[in-house]
Amino acid sequence: MAVCVAVIAKENYPLYIRSVPTESELKFHYMVHTSLDVVDEKISAMGKALVDQRELYLGLLYPTEDYKVSVFPNQLCRYGYVTNSKVKFVMVVDSSNTALRDNEIRSMFRKLHNSYTDVMCNPFYNPGDRIQSRAFDSMVTSMMVQVC
């Protein structure tokens, strides 16, 4: 169901992006890129809230409207998650077959966040570089395979 997972840096450029139908990767790039508008909007809206009380999960960003434009067969929903350091996770989920519950998405994001934290803990990782960790990669793969 997760067809695309992206990690986006604070400065809004991708640290990691992977999608399942690899041939239409660029479409996912556009999809994730446009979702950043909503992410930004949501972050600025909750900017005043206390940091520790903040909900990291942003919920549904967009249901699938653009893909009337660029014909996409499935129903794709985009969910967002933002860490305290303003690193964003965006997940594109294929919801045509199974309706996912919010909690499932939430736990997927939590997993992603944990894995991302592990990547950051690697002393050889340069913050701001593309994530090339194999562990992270396999975790993402598991998230994608798990449902597909």
Partner 1 sequence: MSVPDYMQCAEDHQTLLVVVQPVGIVSEENFFRIYKRISSVSQVSVRDSQRVLYIRYRHHYPPENNEWGDFQTHRKVVGLVTITDCFSAKDWPQTFEKFHVQKELYGATLYDSRLFVFGLQGEIAEQPRTDVAFYPSYEDCGTVEKRIEDFIESLFIVLESKRLDRATDKSGDKIPLLCVPFEKKDFVGLDTDSRHYKKRCQGRMRKHVGDLCLQAGMLQDSLVHYHMSVELLRSVNDFLWLGAALEGLCSASVIYHYPAGTGGKAGARRFQGSSLPAEAANRHRPGAQEVLIDPGALTTNGINPDTSTEIGRAKNCLSPEDIIDKYKEAISYYSKYKNAGVIELEACVKAVRVLAIQKRSMEASEFLQNAVYINLRQLSEEEKIQRYSVLSELYELIGFHRKSAFFKRVAAMQCVAPSISEPGWRACYKLLLETLPGYSLSLDPQDFNKGTHRGWAAVQMRLLHELVYASRRMGNPALSVRHLSFLLQTMLDFLSDQEKKDVTQSLENYTSKCPGTMELIALPDGLPLPPVPFTKLPIVRRVKLLNLPASLRPQKMKSLLGQSVSTKSPFIYSPIVAHGRGEERSKKIDFQWVQGDVCEVQLMVYNPMPFELRVENMGLLTGGVEFESLPAALSLPAESGLYPVTLVGVPQTAGTITVHGYHTTVFGVFSDCLLDHLPGVKTSGCTVEVTPALPRLQASTSLPRSAHSLQPSSGDEVSTNVSVQLYNGETQHLVVKLENIGMEPLEKLEVTSKILTTKEKLYGDFLSWKLEETLAQFPLQPGKVATFTVSIKVKLDFSCQENLLQDLGDDGISVSGFPLCSPFRQVVRPRVDGKAVSAAESSRPGDPSHVKTLEAVLNFKYSGGPGLAEGYYRSLSLGLHVEVEPSLFFTRVSTLPATSTRQCHLLLDVFNSTEHELTVSARGSDELILHAGECQRMAIQVDKFNFESFPESPGEKGQFANAKQLEEERQEARGLEINSKLDIHWTIPSLKRTGEASVEGLLNQLVLEHLQLAPLLWDVLVDGQPCDREAAACHVGDPVRLEVRLTNRSPRSVGPFALSVVPFQDHQNGVHSYNLHHAVSFVGSGTFHLDAVQPSGQSACLGALLFLCTGDFFLHIRFHEDSSSKGLPPSWFCLPSVHVRALEARA
Binding site for partner 1 (CB under 8 A): 9, 11-14, 17, 25-26, 29-30, 33-34, 36-38, 41-42, 45, 62-63, 65-66, 68-70, 128
Q: Where are the beta strands (DSSP E) in 1-68?
A: 2-8, 14-19, 57-62
Give the sign of the dihedral formed by CA 31, CA 1, CA 135, CA 111: positive
**Shortest Å, Cβ 65 to partner 1:** 5
Least Cα distance to 3 among 66, 78, 58 occurs for 78
51 vs 69, beta carbon nearer partner 1? 69
Beta strands in 48-133 (DSSP E): 57-62, 76-82, 88-94
Among residues 12, 16, 11, 22, the alpha carbon closest in space to that of 3 is found at 22
Least separation in angstroms between residue 12's CB and partner 1 is 7
Nearer to partner 1, 3 or 17 (CB): 17
| Minimum distance, C-beta of residue 114 to partner 1, in the bound complex (Å) | 25
The minimum distance between CB 29 and partner 1, in angstroms, equals 4
CA angle 69, 71, 76 (to 5 degrees): 90
Name the residue nearer to partner 1 (CB basis): 88 or 108: 88
Give 36 or 147: the residue with its C-beta nearer to partner 1: 36
DSSP bridge pairs for 88 = 8, 82
Strand, helix or coil at 144?
Answer: helix
CB of 147 to partner 1, least distance (A): 25
**Closer Cβ to partner 1, 2 or 32, answer by number:** 32
